[in-house]
């Protein structure tokens, strides 16, 4: 098991958004956390990377307890966080954005850059362009590519489909799937785009009002009836 979240509660100031959540992910799996808007999906992701404090519970990553660890140390321990809205640095060039990822783990940096450019040739063409002037889809690719340069052990994807054209979303899904299978990379994705969830997810947790209310197998994820029940308002 690479990531284990045990009875975690967290939120902003005194308002708790995530309540007593427990999930576990094995190495190499692609797991989704699904749910409607405002149920606490992004809050849970921010708690996992350490941008929000854990009020109670425990987070174990790669055999270490990281509950009290600060965000920058969690990143260095191998967590690659791709935030909601992509979180690229708009006034840095594409290349500089990618360099930021190497803080996660600077071993084999050049090789990792080449790998990222192979997965996302568009980024190679736009190395010197300011990241803020790129389209939503390109920013999403940059955001994923950026953490890959640091050779992470897990990818935390927070709604990667947001602000991306529908035809690009499935292309992005293909690349994420390819990356995970070729590199053996674990992926935990928060999403509400049904197509993307069904395209790459091996199993899923359903989050509602900050709590896990169901755990779905791959067959259940692929069942439109079941998945719609949890995603539509």
Is 34 in contact with 45 (CB distance < 8 Å)?
Answer: no
Residues 42-101 that bind other proteins (CB under 8 A): 49-51, 70-72, 74-76, 81, 83, 87, 89-92, 96, 99-101
Please choose, out of 5-13, 58-66, 142-150, 170-178, the segment that lies near other proteins by the rule CB under 8 A. 142-150
Q: Which of residues 129 and 198 has its CB atom nearest to other proteins in the complex?
A: 129
By the rule CB under 8 A, 137 interacts with other proteins: no
Side-chain-facing half-sphere of 207: CA atoms under 13 Å? 27
Please choose, out of 8-16, 143-151, 166-174, 197-205, the segment that lies near other proteins by the rule CB under 8 A. 143-151
**Rounded least distance, CB 14 to other proteins, Å:** 18
Residue 215: CB atoms within 10 A of its CB come to 12
By the rule CB under 8 A, 223 interacts with other proteins: no
Which of 61, 154, 62, 151 minimizes the C-alpha distance to 103? 151
Measured between alpha carbons, how far apart are the two ends of the chain, in Å? Answer: 33
Residue 101: CB atoms within 10 A of its CB come to 26
Backbone phi, then psi, for 208, in 5-degree steps?
-145, 130
By the rule CB under 8 A, 150 interacts with other proteins: yes
Rounded (10°) CA dihedral 217, 187, 51, 4: 60
**Rounded least distance, CB 85 to other proteins, Å:** 10
Residues 191-220 that bind other proteins (CB under 8 A): none
**Rounded least distance, CB 78 to other proteins, Å:** 10
Distance CA 31, CA 20 (A): 19
Distance CA 55, CA 141 (A): 33
By the rule CB under 8 A, 124 interacts with other proteins: no
Contact footprint for other proteins (CB under 8 A): 49-51, 70-72, 74-76, 81, 83, 87, 89-92, 96, 99-101, 103-104, 129-130, 132-133, 146-147, 150
């Amino acid at each position: 098991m690479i990531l284990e979240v045990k009875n975690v509660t967290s939120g902003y100031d005194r308002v708790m958004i995530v309540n007593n959540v427990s999930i576990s992910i094995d190495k190499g799996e692609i797991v989704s956390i699904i749910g409607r808007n405002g149920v606490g999906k992004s809050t849970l992701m921010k708690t996992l990377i350490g941008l929000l404090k854990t009020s109670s519970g425990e987070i174990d990553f790669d055999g270490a307890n990281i509950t009290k660890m600060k965000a920058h140390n969690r990143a260095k321990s191998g967590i690659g966080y791709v935030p909601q809205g992509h979180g690229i640095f708009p006034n840095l060039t594409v290349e500089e954005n990618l360099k930021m990822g190497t803080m996660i783990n600077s071993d084999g940096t050049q090789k990792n850059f080449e790998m990222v450019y192979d997965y996302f040739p568009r980024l190679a063409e736009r190395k010197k362009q300011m990241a803020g002037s790129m389209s939503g889809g390109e920013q999403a690719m940059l955001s994923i590519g950026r953490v890959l340069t640091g050779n992470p052990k897990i990818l935390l994807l927070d709604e990667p489909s947001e602000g991306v054209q529908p035809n690009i979303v499935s292309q992005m899904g293909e690349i994420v799937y390819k990356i995970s299978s070729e590199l053996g990379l674990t992926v935990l994705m928060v999403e509400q785009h049904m197509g993307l969830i069904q395209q790459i997810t091996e199993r899923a947790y359903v989050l509602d009002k900050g709590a896990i209310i169901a755990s779905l197998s791959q067959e259940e994820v692929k069942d439109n009836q079941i998945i719609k029940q949890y995603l539509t308002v």
